[in-house]
Homo-oligomer: A and B are copies of this chain.
Amino acid sequence: VNLPRTRTRARRGEGARLRDDIVDAAERLLMERGDEDLVSIRDIADAVGVTPPSIYLHFADKDALLLAVCERQFALLHEHLQQAEVGVDDPLEALGRRGRAYVEFGLEHPDAYRIMFMGRPHREEHHVDTVERAGMQAFASHVAAVQRAADAGRLRPGTDVVAAAIFLWTCVHGITSLLISLAKFPWPERDPLIASLCAASLRGLTAADPAA
């Protein structure tokens, strides 16, 4: 069956407009379903109102398209985290807000999150490079936020700032990915759970060693 194509053909030189629409549609479909394997080139083409071969006018293959979506999501995550700490002076409070915002972003975009952080080890080299660059920007600003807490003397003496940043990241990633994957686990109420986990992870960076 040939669906009626509602899309009007782009004018000369405006072919690139389709590229954005393809990324938009791919992003939306990845949101709706949970997995990149459940979104086919045909689905994306249908959603845009175009035939499958048109995709290949703008992307070398499916991976390249998913990569474009991925990059955009990293930028959104980065922005979301920066937003979370505006107007917050206390550097520990800022870290807590960033942590909660991270989990919030993951739970609101579970499929994007899955692709960004829960995929199989990457297949293609250039894929890795590009995603890594996008992700490293977000990671760098996270490290900077931890550094501010360290500079303010709020972390335990001798703290390795990068290691501390990784620790906080693994904590929020842990709860985010488990909530996404193990939806049927008997979790306690979500918001208090997330808040208490973020608090506990910060205590791990501020507190002295437990008495023996």
Which residues of chain A have a CB within 8 Å of any CB of chain B? 34-35, 37, 92, 114, 117-122, 128, 132, 135, 154, 160, 162-164, 166-167, 169-175, 177-178, 180-185, 187-188, 193, 196-197, 200-210
Contacts and interface: CB of A to CB of B under 8 A. Distances in A.
Given A166-B193, A174-B177, A154 B121 contact: no
Contacts of A205: 200
A201 B202 contact: no
Contact of A178 (B122, B162, B173): B173
9 contacts: A154-B210, A166-B197, A167-B171, A167-B197, A171-B174, A200-B204, A201-B201, A201-B204, A207-B208
Contact of A202 (B135, B173, B206, B210): B210
Given A118-B118, A174-B177, A203-B207, A184 B37 contact: no
Contacts of A163: 188, 193, 196
Contacts of A162: 188
A210 B206 contact: yes
Nearest to A117: B181
B118 A181 contact: yes
Contacts of A167: 171, 196-197, 200-201
A187 to B, nearest CB: 8
Contact of A177 (B177, B197, B201): B177
A209 B203 contact: yes
A140 to B, nearest CB: 12
